[in-house]
Structure 1
């Protein structure tokens, strides 16, 4: 039960014994709004009888070059009784490319229509839950997808502005028509206050629209979302997959063949696989520099072990935002919090929208801003992120026994040399760190004398000589020690879907609000990858251009790792594993380079709460565990965000 509901119950009990209370009335409740009671929205409107309609919103663009402004297809479910009483309601908006190709949610739901083209089923529970509570739910097909015209440009201007056009229309600044061409006027039924929500690509659109500063967008809820498409498809100059933007476009496109050939060409040429450079194409798809334009409140949810939309996406966005914000960080991979902690998430989402779309002062903005899953099923609330107690700690790399190095103490005077082994798997690279493995080097801390926490973005500075003009460099932080952990590398990325269902809202025969229950997939493993990082050495100076290395010269190359928040138990050992190219999380452009690492000029930087123990002269022995207890990912394949 939420704190708000507990306080409401307490008021009722006290009032029942004759106490006299003065209760502050929320703005909407004071105005006699029927869907607001005791400071929260309640289900009073019929979902079955709701208005279901489709409109086409006109944009200012024409990237399919047919001489007609591109139009965005918008499917709406809104409370009929509110409209009949001339009560204007706010909007929950999800703009997505997935409504006809791939589906939404754990059960991959698609939009469905009747014979007349009227929407009968919207994916997910948002309309089922929120429409009876005095919200409209609006699902927009991004330009070039499903029933919209234009061409999907994968994070670009067309995509963002097509969704922005819907917000403008909801606020009376745009034009739309019904299928028969008659005008559709949103301001007859909505007050324009809009909240955008979505997981993955959908949440990325919400970030992009918020970064335009559009008026009327009051809040966004980006779940496992992208804030920089360069960082989604490149790792500091390292190619994630060849022809990735073109693949994404073709996966979601709803246009006839050849209509969008010009856009495909622009995606191919602009993304520039040949160099991996950050250029004007990627700058258009980077929302972070415009975080200062965001005036909407932001509720972020992300998996700390998300290897699809990696954690730099939330971390760099979160740190730039200067608006009311809140965040959930779970131990899963690319998973919606609805399938991790369902009841608590629905309650949080309900209260968040009530606060920022209905104007109800329910206190959610005064609660701890960050909720973090520290171990399977264990959550803590904190004031901010990264942890306020985290300090940047520089950790030296020691020579150890000449094979396995040490973490901490004085910088070692030795060196390490290895040759790129593009077929070296992560499982092999991190296993048995006390033995020599071709293509990787390992450094270990002493066993921890007390628990420590890594909260933020680690990095490793490597002083290297390379015998080729460039090489890819990969770094991993590993927690060596047996523990019960979320099995995020398995199918489901940390959850198991059950056969039972639970229902979250009202239903019709065509659109029920019931979804299969889930539980965390938990495994006992001997180690865990805490975070990973990649860097193309020729992009060490700038991501905008290549600066080749000269054989025989020493260079400093920093490998930034993905943001994380993980706790290591006493007795565990922290490991740093270095290799060159990585065939599981990228498409290696291996040069076959041999790398020499100067230990004295290299170091690991950790955002640390607590202390690492002083190292011994040699690294501790980490027992090799059976392969069955290791978390081993599969080779990378192009993914839909």
Structure 2
């Protein structure tokens, strides 16, 4: 047990009755208690040398760290949120930004972490990414500078790096108040870098809490060879958040990103540097991952491939909501704060509260209806190969566990197809797509993991983009696309202690809902020119058959009994991906096309006929934004 725990009787920490500052933390009923005054908390700023000089000014790049910590003589652990947003778009549903008082000390700490956790014996450190706000150096969109921004702070907390009182010059500042135990938390870009730091294996990082986080930056900008529409490049993304120094001195970094992100969707060494999955075997920190099923900003493939790559020995927890790009504080607030509290107590203070032995997975099955599962992937999940089988209606057939007779089916990409148009009217022929469905399920069927489609396709032109969707056909009430699944209310609730310049109260939210007949549960995109390699595209020869395997997004979805599970294959997704140079007619060889789906349960063995009726109510997709904006 760490310093500050002075005695335990029947699960209660006993603090001596004397007029001294309280112990670093006090535990009652398995959780730390608010024994410190936030008004008396120590506030300070330091600049940590990250060991790089990307702005080439001859001085080591330093990141600004604004710290608030309890007024105690005991050492305390640290909760870190490193971000590019503190001086620009802000954090959270209310876009909070940092502010400073007349003495230059940090005043406003965005989000509730300081209000809630500092009184309970934690320090909170908010780090400006290099090249942003008050930091020096260069912003490199998920690259080594941003990873170093987080890692160097943890090294400083453990006496392995140096902090100073100023961005240049100044005197060194040791972290004598820190236990060295650190957590990193954050949503979107912030959460992405928590995974990059964890993948370094840095000592002292006890846990990370990535929320809607990118695990490979290629998979934010690209998908199996195709570029996402409206997502720009790493260079254009960084340009919105760079400070004056970075804009003046980081041209070489921007050029490297521009060169490394060709518009054709190739996977380059620049993308490899920003792929945290490839080093996930180094992770030692416990992982609490939170994600939205409907997130088309940070696509769900990111969390699935991350958890699959993290060593099985690493403790983990997973929350999956029906929302889009939303923080759990805004879709499940009370449960989230209580769970995060216990999680930090366990991994930063070694409080044996049992959270590490509870079910790992909590999934929102219906609106505000959550189901827990012991492990991820769920026990009994098996990768099942299913086959599209032609039926009596052209372009409409069965999704079967057994292959059908040799057959082909075709569609034409007109450049304007959307997921809604592709999955509508699944009982009739469409010129835009082909659809294959199971019979109505006789029992619930759980899809849990990353599906992979192997498609044998013959294009009529030299360019071809493909889209694929797993669809749950059947009536349901779901979170709607409005507000990415939430609506912000005028009422507030408070979480922790307020102090002048930093209140602990935030506007409440409620779900937005819609009644639907079809829901996309996983989707993927690909450029057929990358059928053999993501690093080197090959020109297509019209009339030649190519076989390509590509990923669909991670999901954990239960298709209820009575519903149908379907596979839809189509051309370009105009809502998400760039249009190919020439729009093709694509012929799918069904006998050589399969989809591997991670299933818990047994799909129907019988060949399906067409669905009983076409869905009329389809949930529209959420329009993705620029990361957390």
- Distance in 1 of aligned mates of 2:93 and 2:174: 31
Q: From the superposition, tell whether residues 636 and 302 of structure 1 become closer, same or farther in structure 2 (CA, over 3 Å).
A: closer
Aligned to 1:98, which of 85, 88, 91? 85
Tell me how far 1:282 sits from its aligned partner.
0.7
Residue 450 (structure 2) aligns with: 457
Q: For residues 417-457 of structure 1, give each alpha carbon's deviation from its aligned partner in whole angstroms, at most 9, with x where no partner exists.
A: 22222211221111111223222112222222222111111
Aligned to 2:361, which of 370, 375, 388? 370
Aligned to 1:335, which of 323, 326, 337? 326
Given that residues 406 and 615 in structure 1 are in contact (C-alpha distance below 8 angstroms), is that contact kept between their aligned partners in structure 2? no
Tell me how far 1:590 sits from its aligned partner.
4.3
- Distance in 2 of aligned mates of 1:111 and 1:249: 19
Question: SS state of the match for residue 600, structure 1?
Answer: helix
Residue 291 (structure 2) aligns with: 302
Q: For residues 567-599 of structure 1, give each alpha carbon's deviation from its aligned partner in whole angstroms, at most 9, with x where no partner exists.
A: 112221222211111111222234312211111
TM-score under structure 2 length normalisation: 0.93
Given that residues 94 and 140 in structure 1 are in contact (C-alpha distance below 8 angstroms), is that contact kept between their aligned partners in structure 2? yes
Residue 271 (structure 2) aligns with: 282
- Distance in 2 of aligned mates of 1:529 and 1:357: 39
Q: For residues 368-421 of structure 1, give each alpha carbon's deviation from its aligned partner in whole angstroms, at most 9, with x where no partner exists.
A: 111111111111221212221222222221111242122115424321122222
Residue 239 (structure 1) aligns with: 227
Q: From the superposition, tell whether residues 591 and 261 of structure 1 become closer, same or farther in structure 2 (CA, over 3 Å).
A: same
Q: From the superposition, tell whether residues 440 and 513 of structure 1 become closer, same or farther in structure 2 (CA, over 3 Å).
A: same
Tell me how far 1:97 sits from its aligned partner.
0.3
- Distance in 2 of aligned mates of 1:158 and 1:410: 50
Residue 225 (structure 1) aligns with: 213
Q: For residues 220-273 of structure 1, give each alpha carbon's deviation from its aligned partner in whole angstroms, at most 9, with x where no partner exists.
A: 111111111111111011101464212210111122543322222111111122
- Distance in 2 of aligned mates of 1:272 and 1:402: 41
Tell me how far 1:616 sits from its aligned partner.
4.8
Tell me how far 1:461 sits from its aligned partner.
1.8
Residue 554 (structure 1) aligns with: 545
Residue 428 (structure 2) aligns with: 435
Aligned to 1:36, which of 26, 29, 48? 26
2:38 equivalent to 1:51: no
Given that residues 40 and 354 in structure 1 are in contact (C-alpha distance below 8 angstroms), is that contact kept between their aligned partners in structure 2? yes
Given that residues 172 and 185 in structure 1 are in contact (C-alpha distance below 8 angstroms), is that contact kept between their aligned partners in structure 2? no
2:569 equivalent to 1:578: yes
Tell me how far 1:137 sits from its aligned partner.
0.5
- Distance in 1 of aligned mates of 2:464 and 2:593: 17
- Distance in 2 of aligned mates of 1:330 and 1:181: 47
Residue 159 (structure 2) aligns with: 172
- Distance in 2 of aligned mates of 1:597 and 1:548: 19
Pick which of 242-251 and 204-213 moved more.
242-251
- Distance in 1 of aligned mates of 2:338 and 2:611: 47
Given that residues 55 and 250 in structure 2 are in contact (C-alpha distance below 8 angstroms), is that contact kept between their aligned partners in structure 1? yes
2:144 equivalent to 1:150: no
Residue 112 (structure 1) aligns with: 99
- Distance in 2 of aligned mates of 1:631 and 1:597: 27
Q: For residues 458-478 of structure 1, give each alpha carbon's deviation from its aligned partner in whole angstroms, at most 9, with x where no partner exists.
A: 222211212334411100111
Pick which of 39-48 and 146-155 moved more.
39-48
Pick which of 455-464 and 191-200 moved more.
455-464
Tell me how far 1:635 sits from its aligned partner.
5.9
Question: SS state of the match for residue 518, structure 1?
Answer: strand
Residue 479 (structure 1) aligns with: 472
Tell me how far 1:99 sits from its aligned partner.
0.2
- Distance in 2 of aligned mates of 1:97 and 1:467: 45
Given that residues 51 and 60 in structure 2 are in contact (C-alpha distance below 8 angstroms), is that contact kept between their aligned partners in structure 1? yes
Residue 595 (structure 2) aligns with: 604
2:392 equivalent to 1:405: no
Residue 264 (structure 1) aligns with: 254
Question: SS state of the match for residue 418, structure 1?
Answer: strand
Q: From the superposition, tell whether residues 506 and 429 of structure 1 become closer, same or farther in structure 2 (CA, over 3 Å).
A: same
Q: From the superposition, tell whether residues 637 and 113 of structure 1 become closer, same or farther in structure 2 (CA, over 3 Å).
A: closer
- Distance in 2 of aligned mates of 1:621 and 1:583: 29
- Distance in 1 of aligned mates of 2:252 and 2:268: 19
Tell me how far 1:111 sits from its aligned partner.
0.5
Q: For residues 523-565 of structure 1, give each alpha carbon's deviation from its aligned partner in whole angstroms, at most 9, with x where no partner exists.
A: 1111111111111112122212113333333222223210101
Residue 604 (structure 2) aligns with: 613
2:147 equivalent to 1:160: yes
Q: From the superposition, tell whether residues 305 and 432 of structure 1 become closer, same or farther in structure 2 (CA, over 3 Å).
A: same
Given that residues 473 and 615 in structure 2 are in contact (C-alpha distance below 8 angstroms), is that contact kept between their aligned partners in structure 1? no
- Distance in 1 of aligned mates of 2:258 and 2:355: 45
Pick which of 381-390 and 344-353 moved more.
381-390
- Distance in 1 of aligned mates of 2:201 and 2:604: 48
Tell me how far 1:624 sits from its aligned partner.
4.1
Q: From the superposition, tell whether residues 259 and 589 of structure 1 become closer, same or farther in structure 2 (CA, over 3 Å).
A: farther
Tell me how far 1:519 sits from its aligned partner.
1.4
- Distance in 2 of aligned mates of 1:40 and 1:449: 44
- Distance in 1 of aligned mates of 2:534 and 2:470: 24
- Distance in 2 of aligned mates of 1:638 and 1:326: 27
Mark the runs of 5 or more structure 2 residues left unpaired by the alignment: 1-7, 17-21
- Distance in 1 of aligned mates of 2:27 and 2:128: 34
2:505 equivalent to 1:514: yes
2:314 equivalent to 1:321: no
Given that residues 142 and 148 in structure 1 are in contact (C-alpha distance below 8 angstroms), is that contact kept between their aligned partners in structure 2? yes
Residue 248 (structure 1) aligns with: 237
Aligned positions, number: 609
Pick which of 548-557 and 365-374 moved more.
548-557
Residue 4 (structure 1) aligns with: none
Residue 18 (structure 1) aligns with: none
Given that residues 218 and 275 in structure 2 are in contact (C-alpha distance below 8 angstroms), is that contact kept between their aligned partners in structure 1? yes
